[in-house]
Amino acid sequence: MTVLSVNVNKIAVLRNSRGGDMPSVAQAARTCLQAGAGGITVHPRPDQRHIRPADVMELAELLQGKPQEFNIEGNPFAPAREGYPGFVALCAAARPEQATLVPDGDGQITSDHGFDLKRDGERLRPLIRELKALGCRVSLFMDDDSQDIERVAEIGADRIEIYTGPFAHDFEAGDAHAVMDRCADIARRAHAVGLAVNAGHDLSQSNLLAFLRHVPHVAEVSIGHALIGEALYAGLDTTVRRYMDIIGAVHQ
């Protein structure tokens, strides 16, 4: 069954807006796990606008010995700076089960495109090798129309994460058939060369079922922004359980 990994970045955004420790990122993660989530995702950025390295280590300790997985996302090319040791160094300290590499820049509000492996493939190869030596499964964030999927396997990664922002946009507009077909095609291509398939960005209760029914081989969905927003109304425990019900309905 597809795993739900809850991205808790937005909990840190709220905490950081006021300072102090409220709300607790760790307590939010604990609630998600108790409600049935299969993992926790964070995307610590060098500017520390939300999740900070200290949060990463606290979550690593929380998840240690548990069956659920820890997924750290980030740009492996972003240099270390004060308060941020660099992506690979952070993974070396936290030892997440999965490292998801994302080509986001400092000025981006959120991730909005996948890797161009014609440009970045050879730069990624040694970083992927280093992360795998740490015991991390490595996933690359890729666009739904990428021609580089077979190259993902060739440079040593284990998974792709389909960038689902265009799908969510078209679904809300009322016609997502073309983008769902592209996502399904990329998932089949990935599966054919031995890659597992993740998906994430702007997935929500309204669009997740349609996506999972149309796109095969999805091992994991990473959901944060919509889930935390929905939880403001219904509660975090209830919202995670509703997502688990949606995922379960796909397999009935």
pLDDT band at 150 (very low <50, low <70, confident <90, very high): very high
The answer to whether residue 96 scores a pLDDT higher than 80 is yes
Supply 84's token pair. 């941020």
- For residue 86, the model assigns a pLDDT of 95
The per-residue pLDDT for range 159-192, each reduced to its tens digit, is 999 999 999 999 999 999 999 999 999 999 999 9
Degrees, nearest 5: CA angle 201-205-209: 90
Catalytic residue among 50, 69, 161, 201: 201
| 205 class by beta-carbon count within 10 Å (0-12 exposed, 13-18 middle, 19+ buried) | middle
Active site residue 58: no
3-250: CATH class: alpha beta
Mean pLDDT of 44-52: 93
- For residue 34, the model assigns a pLDDT of 98
Catalytic residue among 50, 69, 73, 230: 73
Amino acid letter, residue 248: G
The answer to whether residue 61 scores a pLDDT higher than 80 is yes
Q: Return the domain boundaries, the chain.
A: 3-250
Active site residue 201: yes
Compute CA 146 distance to the chain's CA centroid, rounded to the nearest angstrom.
Answer: 18
SS3 string, the chain, reads: CCEEEEECHHHHHHHHHHCCCCCCHHHHHHHHHHCCCCEEEECCCCCCCCCCHHHHHHHHHHHCCCCCEEEEEECCCCCCECCECCHHHHHHHHCCCEEEECCCCCCCCCCCCCCCHHHHHHHHHHHHHHHHHCCCEEEEEECCCCCCHHHHHHCCCCEEEEECHHHHHHHHHCCCHHHHHHHHHHHHHHHHCCCEEEEECCCCCCCHHHHHHHCCCEEEEEECHHHHHHHHHHCHHHHHHHHHHHHHHHCC
Cα–Cα distance between 74 and 80 in angstroms, integer?
12
Active site residue 73: yes
The per-residue pLDDT for range 195-208, each reduced to its tens digit, is 999 999 999 999 99
pTM confidence score: 0.95
Supply 137's token pair. 């499964």
The answer to whether residue 109 scores a pLDDT higher than 70 is no
Mean pLDDT (the chain, rounded): 96
